[in-house]
Amino acid sequence: MIASYGCTGTLTINSVVLNGPAWDIPDLTALWIEAAQRGEDRLIPGAVGVIPYRRRLTVTEHTLAMWIIGDTDRTGAPQSDAWDGLQANIEYLRTNVVDPTNTGDGTRAATLLMPNGATRTANVHVTGMRIQGVDADDGVFTAVNAVLMLSIPRGRFA
């Protein structure tokens, strides 16, 4: 079981808490403020400097490192077989967080609970999840490193 989770906040997508006993995104600080901007200044040939133009927030993409383990389920209940548990946890995330919604604009409601208790929200596209490596300890503790890829159409959580 992941013992210490949610230190940099708690991310919930589609009512699935992504910081818990079976999986965790340990570093959510990129979601605190980082947002891409669009717009550019205008260059005037032969003149010094540029004409400044306003910038606006635009779609921002994040790749968030994640751990998924198999010895417990999403509620923290022990799994009798860590490999079966790992498969079940990955399937749950795929079905409830990663797979396209195929409804409306395709976004999912997301909430970022900050360490100080403040709540920020955004609609997000989950554009994928990649499994990057397996860590097994005689079947007792089975885990994978993964990355969850998000796209925030409005730029950031507000």
pLDDT in tens, 30-75: 999 889 999 999 999 999 999 999 999 999 999 999 999 999 999 9
**Confidence bin at 146 (pLDDT 50/70/90):** very high
Can you give the pLDDT at residue 139? Answer: 54
Torsion of CA 60, 65, 68, 74, to 10 degrees: -50
Predicted structure pTM score: 0.87
Can you give the pLDDT at residue 134? Answer: 78
pLDDT in tens, 72-121: 999 999 999 999 999 999 999 999 999 999 999 999 999 999 999 999 99
Can you give the pLDDT at residue 2? Answer: 65
Beta strands in the chain (DSSP E): 10-13, 16-17, 23-24, 37-38, 42-43, 50-51, 56-57, 60-69, 108-113, 119-137, 141-152
**Confidence bin at 15 (pLDDT 50/70/90):** very high
What mean pLDDT comes out for the span 139-146?
79
Provide φ and ψ at 97, rounded to 5°: -130, -45
Report d(CA 114, CA 65) in Å as an integer: 18
Can you give the pLDDT at residue 4? Answer: 64
Provide φ and ψ at 123, rounded to 5°: -95, 135
